Amino acid sequence: MRPPRSTRLGFQPPAIGEEEIAAVTETLRSGWLTTGPRTALLEERMASYLDAEHVLAVASGTAALHLALLAVGVQPGDEVITSPITWPATANVIEHCGATPIFCDVRDTDLNIDPALIPALVNERTRAILPVHLAGQPADLDPISALGLPVVEDAAHAAESVYRGRKIGAISDASCFSLYATKNIAAGEGGLVATNRDDVAEAIRNMRLTRRGDGSHYDQVTAGFKANLSDVLAAIALVQLDRIDAHALIRQRQFDLYDVGLADLDGITPLVRDPRDVHALHLYVVRIDAARAGADRDAYQRALADELIGTSIHFLPVHKLTWFRDRYPAQPPLAVAEHAGREVLSLPLSPAHSDDDILDAIDAVSRLHERFTA
Ligand SMILES: Cc1ncc(COP(=O)(O)O)c(C=O)c1O
């Protein structure tokens, strides 16, 4: 076994190279800093990559979700059904529309929303369904689409995902991607909405920037936001898009190393990946069963930090966070999500990491497993 590390291994550092730096410099020299030609090119190239009619660039994945919900008609008093195993932004944007998030429990296999449980939650106030593609594994969209309600996907983890032969981005009313610093296309900040609906694209175009000028006058057709993307960030995203396949290959190798390296550790199990789909390999999430692994997730996370291995949690169930708990005290228990929320741990994964880095992480987990189960 390899000795413990002497330098900290980051959980998910971005893979930024000289090309990204040159692209930023070039943009700064161009004199055009805000939404402009680079953003337009990013939208065009992402539309082609995602097989989508339209891609609209916005300021964040959160803004993408917010504007997409508004664009499909979510209004105050409505309900939107979503997954509790997600970043809180997914539920916050429902609140920002004046609507209520209705949390639906997840499947024990991949921790994506359980389509079998959705129909019982649908009523006359239900305006949309918001599935999340956790870690890059597509949610089961066919039974969700079959319910006939607008579907807005949280595709923050799913830039490369394919569901049963169709790209995520090409399927639902809207798919919302994030360009946040840790994401598969990392620009630092930014978001994208992909849609095949002309009306959704037009609504988002009108909302992401309040002012749309066409000469000396300006006008507005809706009370918009300031949710546009800067060309400086679009320039980074364009280079990251050039590297998307190369980066995916590196993460695939890291997944393979983890799959093999952790296979014999009783009680430490990766989330299930469906072989019918393309997984975006955004996060390597394991579940730690305290009874078999000798210690719980929190003990492993603390001990890994002591071993200089950075980890993260995706995710704590949103309905259990203070604000949602206080706001909806009568929330019914969501047994699978709540159990999983105590077990999930995401291990280091990044095209910026070497194979040796990942082997260090595997050895650290193995060493702790040996200690905790002794
Ligand atoms: C599942 C999920 N949804 C939404 C978001 C929000 O994206 P952003 O940070 O770009 O606003 C994130 C991550 O940041 C996420 O992981």
pTM of the model: 0.97
Mean pLDDT by 10 residues, the chain (374 residues): 93 97 98 97 98 98 98 98 98 98 98 98 98 98 98 98 98 98 98 98 92 70 92 98 98 98 98 98 98 98 98 98 96 96 98 98 98 97
341: left (phi over 0), alpha (psi -120 to 50) or beta: alpha
pLDDT value at position 156? 98
Architecture of domain 18-242: 3-Layer(aba) Sandwich (3.40)
Straight-line distance from the first to the last Cα atom of the chain, in angstroms, rounded to the nearest whole number = 17
Domains 18-242 and 244-373 share a fold: no
Write the Ramachandran bin of 112: left for phi over 0, alpha for psi from -120 to 50, otherwise beta. beta
Active site residues: 183
Residues whose beta carbon lies within 6 Å of some atom of ligand 1: 60-62, 86-87, 89-90, 132, 154, 156-157, 178, 180, 191
**In this predicted structure, what is the pLDDT of residue 363?**
98
pLDDT of residue 214: 65
Tell me the domain boundaries of the chain: 18-242, 244-373
Ligand 1 center to 101 CA (angstroms): 17
Superfamily of domain 244-373 in CATH is: Aspartate Aminotransferase, domain 1 (3.90.1150.10)
Q: Which residue CA neighbors atom 14 of ligand 1 most closely?
A: 180
Structure-derived torsion over alpha carbons of residues 228, 230, 52, 214, reported in degrees to the nearest 10: 60
Out of 60, 85, 87, give the residue to mutate to test ligand 1, the one with the largest number of ligand atoms within 8 Å of its CB. 87
Q: Residue 223: what pLDDT? A: 87
Give the bridge partners for 284, in sequence order.
347
Q: What local confidence, expressed as pLDDT, does residue 372 receive?
A: 98
Helix ranges (DSSP H) in 150-296? 198-208, 231-242, 244-261, 290-293
User: Strand pairing of 284-288 and 268-270?
Assistant: antiparallel
